[in-house]
Amino acid sequence: MEDLLRPLYQERASNENTLGVLLIEKNKPFSPLTDNFDCILFIIVTHGEKPWSVKHYEFDDKIAALHIVTEERLNEWLLLGSNRRVVDWVINGKVLFNRNEYITELRDRLDKFPVPERSKKITLEFAKLLRRFSDGKELFHSGQHLDSFNHILHALHHLARLAVIERGFHPEITVWNQVKVIEPQIYKLYEELITGNESIAKRIELLLIASEFSISSKTKLGAGHLLTIFEEQYEWTVAELMEHREIADYSIDLGILLEHLIEKGIVDVIRQQTKGKHLFHRHYTTNK
């Protein structure tokens, strides 16, 4: 198969813009990892007309997909977890081209999972966890149990991913297999929500109590990246925080994260007088 695909990647490999080429082959009859294509050619470039482009091919009785992605978009996927197959592609794909050991160093980075990357990813997952949990709790109390169930399930998924990252691993597509070994208590919560004998309402009620405890116990860890940013100056407006390049990836959930930290006594509010009577600007600082 590699010989048949060589014309697709050889010309690109000779381009200085190309950093690496990986081959991912379908290894089972049904393969979501490759979108059921017989193989994926994954080409990483320094820059491109588009951050990600895809082409489909046929040869003999097989089908192949060619993915060309910029280094910036790849790093975005790895941070946000928005294309989880990519971790598997990078770690397990067959290396066809490796400019200046780029793929080798990328794999080494994924394996070591440096603390700054890990911290940011943890806060990103924690912010999503708070959002899902809050929405699920509100829906439960308004009697919308099926919608609440969906949000609590997603909240548990973020809690699971957070636990995996905390241990220094990248969450995979089979995240619950990882969590079963790494943090069985969270896996048990998941099992109780999915397979419990109680009514849906009762299962959600129990999960809300357990999840509240888990969220509280992980607050300082979960908010660690944001709290590090707070150290750069004494007080912040929400606009200043949202404009910070390190916070951009979770700025959509920044409001709920700040309110949670205020509730837990980790962040304090500083009121600044506006021109309006009894109307104040809200600034934020850490409670040291």
Alpha carbon distance 207, 149 (integer Å): 10
265 found inside a domain: no
The amino acid occupying position 140 is: F
Backbone angles phi, psi at 269, to 5 degrees: -100, 135
Percent of the chain with pLDDT over 90: 77
Residues 156 and 79 in one domain: no
Same domain, 173 and 104: no
Residue 195 lies in a domain: yes
What's the token pair of residue 187? 């896996």
| pLDDT 10s digits, 80-94 | 888 889 989 999 999
The H or E element spanning position 94 is strand 94-98
Pair 172, 136 in one domain: yes
**Residue pointed to by tokens 């482009």:** 53
Domain boundary (226, 250, 268) is at 226
Same domain for 122 and 56:
no
User: What is the rounded distance in angstroms from the CA atom of residue 79 to the CA atom of residue 58?
Assistant: 33
48 located within any domain: yes
Does the structure show a pLDDT above 80 at 245?
A: yes
Domain assignment of residue 250, yes or no = no
53 assigned to some structural domain: yes
CATH code of the domain containing 12: 3.30.460.10
Same-domain pairing of 76 and 131? no
pLDDT of 183:
92
With a cut of 80, say whether residue 4 has pLDDT above it.
Answer: no
* 133 found inside a domain: yes
Which residue segment(s) compose the domain that 39 sits in?
Answer: 2-112
Considering the domain architecture, whether residues 160 and 203 belong to the same structural domain is answered as yes
Amino acid identity, position 20 = G
Instruction: Please tell me the least confidently modeled range out of 115-124, 129-138, 193-202, 272-281.
Output: 272-281
The pTM is what? 0.86
Same domain, 98 and 177: no
- Secondary structure (3-state) at 174: coil
Same-domain status, 133 and 170: yes
Number of domains in the chain: 2
CATH number of residue 195's parent domain: 1.20.120.330
